[in-house]
Amino acid sequence: MPLRRNSQDELIAMKKEIFDKYLTRQIKSKDGAGLLKMHPKSFFRLLARYQQYGLAALAPKKTGPKSGLAFNRTSTWIEDLVIKIAFDHRNLGPISIAELLAESQSIKLNQTTQIF
């Protein structure tokens, strides 16, 4: 067995081996799904993608928004206000900055910068 570079390569190789064993009827679909800790329907969906796209379908996908900005991103002008307050009042923490922003600009903002 050839050496693999990292755990992602090992994961892809393991999935490929399980799908190849299923396709050659060495294991049942239920057993393959169990080995991959997947629901049987998910197993078949991934198998179909593997048969169509090859090894690329077995690579884990990036999490989060796939393109563009997140739908719930805070507006740039509010971010700029938070940054200005943070620079002007370096001794304040996130809760105090959110309170100061609410007082000075009437913008209620969570300390994690999520607008209510």
| Amino acid in position 99 | E
Q: Is 47 among the domain residues?
A: yes
Question: Is the pTM of the predicted complex or chain greater than 0.75?
Answer: no
Separation CA 62–CA 46 (nearest Å): 16
- 50 and 96 in a single domain? The answer is no
Residues 48 and 23 in one domain: yes
What pLDDT does 112 receive? 60
Q: 73: alpha, beta or left, given left = phi > 0 and alpha = psi -120 to 50? A: beta
Do 39 and 21 share a structural domain?
Answer: yes
Mark whether 88 and 48 lie in a shared domain. Answer: no
Is residue 29 located within the same domain as residue 52?
yes
pLDDT for 1 equals 46
pLDDT score at 85: 87
**6-30 pLDDT per residue, tens:** 688 888 999 999 999 999 999 999 9
Q: How high is the pLDDT of residue 51? A: 93
Output the pLDDT for position 4. Answer: 47
Tell me how many domains the chain contains.
2
CA neighbours closer than 13 Å in the CB half-sphere of residue 116: 9
pLDDT of residue 73: 73
Write out the two tokens for 97: 């900055």
pLDDT averaged over 10-residue windows placed end to end, the chain, 116 residues: 65 92 94 93 94 89 68 80 87 85 80 53
The pLDDT value recorded for residue 5 is: 56
Long-range contacts of 58-63 (CB under 8 A, 24+ apart): 58/11, 58/12, 58/15, 58/16, 59/8, 59/12, 60/8, 60/11
